[in-house]
Copies of this chain bind each other. A is one copy, B any other.
Amino acid sequence: MSSESDFNAPVRRKPVPEKKIRVLVVDDHPPMRIGLVALIKSQPGMDVIAEASDGEEAIEVYDDVLPDIVLMDLRMPGMGGVEAILAIRKKHPDARVIVVSTYDMDEDIHRAMQSGAKSYLLKDMPIEEIASTIQGVYEGDTPLPRSVQERLMERAQRQQLTERERDVLEALIKGRSNKEIASSLCIAEDTVKSHLKTLFTKLHVRDRTGAAIEAIRHGIIHLK
């Protein structure tokens, strides 16, 4: 697959000016944005053609510059990364977005890949891995770091929650009692208990406190 091992191609090193990969960087943290931009510009075959600091801006800018690759942060104020990816890929189904996140929670990873991201990088990864992933995605691959793959496998092994179970879990993490959850969801308290029972089983915990912790730990429900 890789263009490097094409033995039949004629050898020509210098002659081709080689078009640079045009990257759009999206991150709400100024120093991180600066770092990603510098990192990419330091790579010979890549260039940053635009930046954005949130989801809405990313969508606008994408339409303007039509980059080859988008490097997108996941958690941003206002429109998050997932919504931005969905919006971009709705208009441009062939858009190639790579998520660059601080968090390695399996639900974050899953949501990102589900929404159409081509890869998922962590900010603690070495610059070589970031660069090679950009290169790989540009060439049509979907190179997913091993550690991220493993997280994704973990999630796959966990039974996934139904919509209603997520509702209950979310209410639970707001600190509500069964009775309060019931009235906030307009169902009977027994129904809440019923959902909780399956939640405990699926999350491999025995009580609501354990469920809350697991939900937060895996990023199933975001705090705040």
Contacts and interface: CB of A to CB of B under 8 A. Distances in A.
Nearest to A216: B216
A217 B224 contact: yes
A223 interface: yes
Contacts of A209: 172, 175, 208-209, 212
A18 interface: no
Interface in A10-40: 28-36, 38-39
Contacts of A172: 209
Given A205-B175, A217-B224, A34 B212 contact: no
A31 B212 contact: no
A34 B131 CA distance: 14
Grouping DSSP codes into helix (H, G, I), strand (E, B) and loop, the A interface class, with mixed when no group exceeds half, is helix
A124 B53 CA distance: 10
Interface in A154-213: 172-173, 175, 177, 205-210, 212-213
Interface residues of A, number: 36
Contact of A31 (B36, B205, B210): B36
List the number of copies, as a whole number: 2
A125 interface: yes
A43 interface: no
Given A30-B126, A123-B31, A213 B102 contact: no
A127 interface: yes
Interface string A110-139: 000000000000011111001000000000
Pairs A-B, 6 closest by C-beta atoms: A35-B35, A31-B35, A34-B35, A175-B210, A29-B123, A209-B209
Given A31-B32, A35-B36, A217-B224, 4 more contacts: A29-B32, A30-B130, A33-B35, A217-B223
Interface of A: 28-36, 38-39, 77, 100, 102, 123-127, 130, 172-173, 175, 177, 205-210, 212-213, 216-217, 223-224
